[in-house]
Amino acid sequence: MTVIALVALLSTGGRLFGQPPALPQRAEHHVLVISLDGLGANFYAENALKAHLPNLQRLRAEGSYAEGVEGVYPTVTYPSHTTIVTGRLPAEHGIYSNVSVRTPEKKVEDWFWYAKDLKTPALWDEARQAHLTSAAVSWPVTVGAAIDWDLPEIWDPSKAMVFDMNYVGKYATPGLLEEAMKAVGPMPAESNVDVVRTRLAAYLIKKYRPNLTLVHLADPDHTEHSFSPESLQATKALEDCDTRVGELLQAVHESGVEGSTDVFIVSDHGFLRTGRLIQPNVLLAKAGLLSVNSAGEITGGKVSTLSNGGSFFIYWPEGEDLRAQVQAALASLLEQGALWAEFGRSALHDLGAEPAVQLALDAPEGYMFGKLATGDIITEQRVMGGSHGYLPYRSGLESSFIAWGPHIRTGVNLHRIRMTSEGPTILKALGIDDAEFGDRPPLSEIFK
């Protein structure tokens, strides 16, 4: 069902299936967190600005910022967003990658959509414990979360990443999506997903004035994958997102809580340009480490694998030592210059990556990993694109951090920070003091 059709249904008597919590009495602290998926720090750096981003530039100039944020491994959306709201690395919070179900026999991919998979507290848990309210629009890993007004990110895995409002409504706070869509009215026919998300978030801000609001805008990521981070299309997507940021700031103004609202602009990762695709599973299958049927589908094997774009994870059962066999099978990649690095268990432990990974491969710049087990080992992409998932310390993968608001100091350059610092800092902006939250102290120097 389209957005317009859903609104039409509601305007003709569509039934509401419950109501969100009643509007609480205003509290002193309000925080708006806006994630711009794929916004590398280089896009808003003063000496590298190539896009017209007036809102982001103003927030950066009037607030505090980092020149770059070192993310998590792999540098992909779901583990990164979870680190932002927990202050913990993937090995601790439990969201190890985007995909949660990795068995060969499953033909569709389930992602880490559900908050029940979290192993550590998130910002919304802290807010609820402090008797503060929260809202989220399309924030990853929030299905079933302790969020008062929740419109989570989820899609039907049999239809790939299709934004289906009807499907989202099944997992949202009961009645909330119908109420919000009826209130915001029909969207222009050309509206992309981020336009819809922004208008829904603006409605929640103005109607309920949550103490914590989390909004995830994803169009820059999709565009950079398709056209590369240096493309004109990517620049246009970022400029559109800057407009969305302005609309959310306007919603805060209209809500009447501008004087108590601090705003955080964050992102999950940067991007590297790619033009070649590496298929390690082809080599693993030839070595007898993966089983492949007549259709070229992986059906099992001694190992299992997961492609994260810029990185490639390889698993085998505990108690077995298959490293020598795996490395021998993949030796030709190193000979062809198609490997930037590989990491064993000790290095992955230090990175805070998934504990079950036995060996991880990182692709050279210009390359990314695929998941096919038949065909050519290395292929040229028809169109230059972009990817992430690489080691977070690599140049170009740095994510973004800007803080702005009545409690934020002007002109503080944090230089380079760790992503695990962001959650504790946002928690401090909410007025909550919990020394056990996250693995780093808050960035106290940004506060007045």
Q: What is the CATH number of the domain that holds 153?
A: 3.40.720.10
Instruction: State the Rg of the chain over Cα.
Output: 22
Q: Look at the pTM and tell me if it is higher than 0.85.
A: yes
Which pLDDT belongs to residue 13? 33
Q: Which two tokens stand for residue 409?
A: 């100091």
Nearest to 20 by CA among 206, 180, 186: 180
Q: Are residues 165 and 253 in the same domain?
A: yes
Which pLDDT belongs to residue 51? 81
Helix axes 193-208, 176-184, angle to 10 degrees: 100
CATH number of domain containing 357: 3.30.1360
Alpha helix locations (H) across 209-273? 219-227, 232-255
Q: Kindly report, residue by residue over 278-336, the tens digit of the pLDDT.
A: 999 999 999 999 999 988 889 999 999 999 999 999 999 999 999 999 999 999 999 99
Whole-number Å distance between alpha carbons of 308 and 102: 12
Domain boundary among 337, 363, 385: 385
Q: Are residues 148 and 278 in the same domain?
A: no
The DSSP code for 302 is S
Which pLDDT belongs to residue 49? 64
Which pLDDT belongs to residue 106? 59
Which pLDDT belongs to residue 15? 29
Q: Which two tokens stand for residue 23?
A: 């509007």
Domain boundary among 362, 385, 408: 385
pLDDT below 70 — which residues of the chain?
Answer: 1-27, 44-49, 101-108, 189-190
Handedness of CA 96, 101, 105, 106 (dihedral sign): negative
List CB contacts of 126: < 8 A, sequence separation 6 or more.
427, 430, 432, 434, 437
Q: Are residues 232 and 331 in the same domain?
A: no
Nearest to 151 by CA among 92, 112, 206, 203: 203
What element of type H or E holds 214?
A: strand 212-217
Q: Are residues 62 and 107 in the same domain?
A: yes
Whole-number Å distance between alpha carbons of 68 and 419: 10
Q: Are residues 73 and 91 in the same domain?
A: yes
Which pLDDT belongs to residue 19? 39
Which pLDDT belongs to residue 381? 86
Which pLDDT belongs to residue 45? 66
Domain membership of residue 327 as a residue range:
274-385
* b/e code 40-57 from CB counts within 10 Å (16+ = b): bbbbbeeeeeebebebbb
Q: How would you write 309-377 as a 3-class SS string?
A: CCEEEEECCCCCCCHHHHHHHCHHHHHCCCCCEEECHHHHHHHCCCCCCCEEEECCCEEEECCCCCCCC
Q: Are residues 181 and 322 in the same domain?
A: no
Q: Which two tokens stand for residue 82?
A: 């979870």
Q: Are residues 164 and 256 in the same domain?
A: yes
Helix axes 219-227, 232-255, angle to 10 degrees: 180
Q: Are residues 252 and 278 in the same domain?
A: no
Q: Are residues 67 and 123 in the same domain?
A: yes
Other Cβ atoms less than 10 A from the Cβ of 368: the count is 28
* b/e code 316-329 from CB counts within 10 Å (16+ = b): beeeeebeebbeeb
Q: Are residues 239 and 108 in the same domain?
A: yes
Q: Are residues 259 and 379 in the same domain?
A: no
Domain boundary among 360, 385, 410: 385
Cβ atoms of residues 122 and 33 within 8 Å: no
Which pLDDT belongs to residue 86? 98
Total count of domains within the chain: 2
Q: Which two tokens stand for residue 304?
A: 């299992």
Q: Are residues 16 and 93 in the same domain?
A: yes
